[in-house]
Amino acid sequence: MATSFDIEPADATLGAIIRGIKINALDKRMWEALHEIWLEYALLIFPAQHLTRGEQIDFARRFGPLEAEMLKISNVKADGTLYTLQQDEEYLHLLEATHEWHTDSSYKPIHAKGSVFCAEIIPPGGTQTGWADMRAAYDALDPALRTRIEGLCAYHSFHQRHLKRGHTISREIDAKVRDDGLPLFGLNDGPPPLRPLVKIHPETGRKSLLLGQHVCGIKTMTEDESERLLRELMEFACQPPRTYHHSWQPGDAVLWDNRCLLHRSRPWDLSLPRVMWHTRIAGDPVTEAAL
Ligand SMILES: [Fe+2]
């Protein structure tokens, strides 16, 4: 399909940097072209967009209903002060958990479709977010391992994963951080959803590994066996050329396909403010539902 914007593929199996468009002003033809490119690269980076919160929501909505309109992912409170380890340990553990590879909302009944993520305040010295391509990981697996995991299913849990890291996340944290202008939304207190280890993409038909820090156990295996296999798969999957890290500039916008990528934020100096805005696109209640 002919497009009138520049596509610069990243030096990885995923991702492209898109220039020459304003994503808040796409006509139908341009959006359709962009949608196709998104399905191909899974991660699109749009430098210097400087979207308003409303424009970010409108752009995300073109990809489907939203799971969450606007989440402030930040160490800055509503009153402008910073979270500190002394006073806000629990919240900072939540932020810290995003440094591990994960996929959004896999611990809820419906796994998210994708996200639009925008940078407002970036600390001097920069900060990065990384993505890992689970389609390429599946394709590159040793055939014997691919056969071994076919048909396996795993439980996904937010709380169990935090417990394993030695942290409990209290039920009150959700309301507490909402008062600071940082809404969380449902960490899922229900039974952990069961999901296949190999996911078929509902739009492209491609197979990918469904992994990440919220996977807390393969159904038919002992805990040891399951941990060993999950570690082996993660170590293999999250390696170049299947990973890409973006160094943020204020005003950048990113769109990713949560159905076939993992992502992680990289640590930054918490004495410096960082403000990012996240809009989460809801998964299809049929294809992204738990088993
Ligand atoms: Fe995330």
Ligand 1: centre distance to CA 99 (Å): 9
The Å distance, Cα 228 to ligand 1 centre, comes to 24
Q: What is the pLDDT of residue 4?
A: 79
Residue 134 CB contacts under 8 Å (≥ 6 apart), including other chains = 199, 208, 209, 210, 211, 237, 260, 261, 262
Q: What is the pLDDT of residue 96?
A: 85
**Exposed e or buried b per residue across 147-170, where buried means at least 16 C-beta atoms within 10 angstroms of its C-beta:** eebeeebbbbbbbebbeeeeeebe
- Ligand 1 centroid to residue 4 C-alpha, Å: 31
**How far, in Å, is the centroid of ligand 1 from the Cα of 159?**
15
Report strand pairing: 275-281 vs 114-121: antiparallel
What does the pLDDT look like over 199-245, one tens digit per residue?
999 999 999 999 999 999 999 999 999 999 999 999 999 999 999 99
pLDDT reading at 131 higher than 70: yes
- Band of pLDDT at residue 185, cut at 50, 70 and 90: low
Q: What is the pLDDT of residue 94?
A: 81
Q: Is the model's pLDDT at 164 over the cut of 80? A: no
Going from the Cα of 126 to the center of ligand 1, the distance in angstroms, rounded, reads 19
Average pLDDT over residues 96-112: 93
Q: Ligand 1 centroid vs 2 CA: distance in angstroms?
A: 33
Percent pLDDT > 70 in the chain is 91
d(CA 75, CA 103) in angstroms, rounded, equals 21
Banded model confidence at residue 175, pLDDT cuts 50, 70, 90: low
pLDDT of the residue at 176: 63
Confidence tier at 181 by pLDDT (50, 70, 90) = low
3-state helix, strand, coil in the chain (%, to 5): 25, 25, 45
